[in-house]
Copies of this chain bind each other. A is one copy, B any other.
Amino acid sequence: MKNRIHNFNAGPAALPLPVLEEIQAELLDFKGSGMSIMEVSHRSKWFDDVINETVERINRLMGLGDDFQVLFMQGGASTQFALVPMNLLPEGQSADYVNTGTWSTKAIKEAQAMGKTVNVAASSEDRNFCYIPKDIPLDPNAAYVHITSNNTIKGTAYTDFPDAGNVPLIADMSSDILSRPIDASKFGLIYAGAQKNMGPAGVCVAIIRKDMLERVPASLPSMFKYTTFADKNSMYNTPPCFAIYTVGLVVKWIEETIGGLEKMEARNRKKADTLYSIFDSSDFYSGTADKDSRSLMNVTFRLPSEDLEKAFVAQALENGLGGLKGHRSVGGCRASIYNPTSQEGIEALVDFMKEFEKKNG
């Protein structure tokens, strides 16, 4: 595909080319139905197979077993910021939140705004969120501990998750879900907007441990209850069918083409190592995250001046390397290198970076 660029967007982000090609090939006639996947009923055998296979693959890839349910919801991770405390933080209890960046901060604010008791157990705001706090003092009576596993904007990620004992972890994994194997048993809920590592915008995956469902207050509106989605296989109402179908193709690609999450992690680690090694060998580029907190997914860095950063982003795009501008709230540069990004894309970026340094360093 000569017209395709290397896409380092933070989300919506690159999708695997074979996934796009499969969507394209069957767009007018899904599996002999004579209809597009967008035109089949969500109550049909066709869509039932799509959603069930997608659930099963996520379950297999993550090793979830029988204790979890995989739900497809709408409203993005931002809606989860409200749904989590509404559903899972009972009156009279408090929840621990770890603040590691923009998205954790928003999750905390939404919970507080609805009058919930939030304890910010640790924060890395003192150094502009460039690291992941260690040895976090957690409340053994907390309803849950909320973390952001990968900080899309700040370029940091947990290497090891906090040990919360019997308190369930709740993780916003929007920007690193399915990038590596994790021990799901520590988690009461994992949620992720699909638009980075697992599909297009328009569906949010929520993986909930079944015992957490007992906390859901009956009084909530139907569409705001995890139980509504759990009871109806995410089809109480019309689900975002096309987005779920695309997630299904992405997880099929991870399982069948990549070979599962261990292989996915190895590939992602090699990509990240290749890119980070440039910061360590050059004075021109400097990573913004502490070394021990570096994200495998969002590589954030600075150049010697803002003018050079501007030129870097613009010239990169001319060279077929898109989406390298840092988030507008922090500036600088960022290469988002989610699951679909190939080693070849990384090599192309590194070559360009070396060339740019030679000319401007």
Contact = CB atoms under 8 A, between A and B. Distances in A.
SS class, residues of chain A in contact with chain B: loop
A15 interface: yes
A224 B223 CA distance: 11
A202 interface: yes
Interface of A: 1, 3-5, 7, 9-15, 17, 20-21, 23-24, 27-29, 32-36, 38-43, 74-79, 81-82, 86, 110, 113-114, 193, 195, 200-203, 219, 221-224, 236-243, 246, 320, 322-323, 328
A222 B105 CA distance: 14
Given A4-B29, A75-B75, A202-B74, A38 B236 contact: no
B39 A9 contact: yes
A337 to B, nearest CB: 14
A175 to B, nearest CB: 12
Contacts of A3: 28-29, 32, 34
Contacts of A13: 39
A15 B82 CA distance: 34
A200 B43 CA distance: 15
Nearest to A241: B201
A246 B238 CA distance: 17
A316 to B, nearest CB: 13
A240 B322 contact: no
B42 A201 contact: yes
A330 to B, nearest CB: 14
A200 to B, nearest CB: 4
A221 B110 contact: yes
Given A11-B41, A35-B322, A74-B240, 11 more contacts: A4-B28, A4-B34, A5-B33, A5-B34, A15-B39, A24-B27, A34-B320, A75-B223, A82-B221, A202-B241, A202-B243
Contacts of A219: 113-114
Contact of A78 (B43, B79, B222): B222
Contacts of A240: 74, 201-202, 240, 243
A329 to B, nearest CB: 12
A28 B24 contact: yes
A279 to B, nearest CB: 24
A239 B15 contact: no
A27 B28 contact: no
Contacts of A9: 35, 39-41
Nearest to A47: B12
B82 A223 contact: yes
Contacts of A323: 41
A165 to B, nearest CB: 29
B322 A7 contact: no
Given A34-B3, A82-B221, A322-B35, A76 B238 contact: yes
A12 B24 contact: no
A38 B200 CA distance: 6
A246 B11 contact: no
7 contacts: A4-B35, A12-B238, A38-B200, A79-B221, A82-B222, A202-B203, A243-B243
Nearest to A35: B7
A39 B195 CA distance: 9
